[in-house]
Amino acid sequence: MPCFRHVKVQSILEVIVGKTLEQSMLEVMEEEEMKALKEHQRIFEQKRNAELAETQKLENAERRRFEEKERRKKQERERIERERQEKEKLAARTFAKNLLSNLEDRVFLNLEEEGYFYDVVEREVTNDFMPWLIEKVHEHIEEKKNCRKLVDGI
């Protein structure tokens, strides 16, 4: 027959074994839970990293579109400015051409009126030949007068 001590020890052992098994089961369950949490954390990190990468990709694409849009705006402003400058140059060139064409005619006319441009033959006739001719005619008339006086005196 089993001894009373033996029964007490057995019941204490059963309690100790039960508690040890229960503690072991709790530790195993805790480890499994930790593994599940770590796996869940790993999956969460992967998803977050993928989302961050996608967000960066979208931000970069948006930034490139914005920069391209700004570059095209700048090109259009520069094109409009070049066209404006070309129109101004053309208008200035046309104005200057019209002004200078009339100016040239007026300048030559004024210079001609002031005597800077003259006909060489006309000037020689006016300044040299005509005075000489008039002097010769006067001499001839004086000679004729003197001849008449002599004829009249005879």
The identity of residue 144, as a single letter, is K
Residue-number span of the structural domain to which 80 is assigned? 4-117
107 and 137 belong to one structural domain: no
**Residues 31-58, mean pLDDT to the nearest whole number:** 96
Cα–Cα distance between 40 and 63 in angstroms, integer?
34
pTM: 0.43
Percent of the chain at pLDDT > 90 equals 60
- Tell me what pLDDT residue 104 has: 75
Nearest one of 48, 24, 44 to 36, comparing CA atoms: 44
Mean pLDDT across the chain, nearest whole number?
Answer: 89
pLDDT in tens, 92-143: 999 888 877 777 778 878 887 887 777 778 888 888 888 998 999 999 999 9
pLDDT at res. 4 = 64
Q: Are residues 109 and 85 in the same domain?
A: yes
d(CA 49, CA 42) in angstroms, rounded, equals 10
CB 117 within 8 A of CB 111: yes
Number of structural domains (the chain) is: 2
b/e burial code for range 122-132 (CB count within 10 A of at least 16 → b): eeeeeeeeeee
44 lies in the same domain as 101 = yes
Say yes or no: 93 and 48 in one domain.
Answer: yes
**111 and 132 co-located in one domain:** no
- Among the residues of the chain, which ranges form H helices? 4-113, 120-124, 130-153
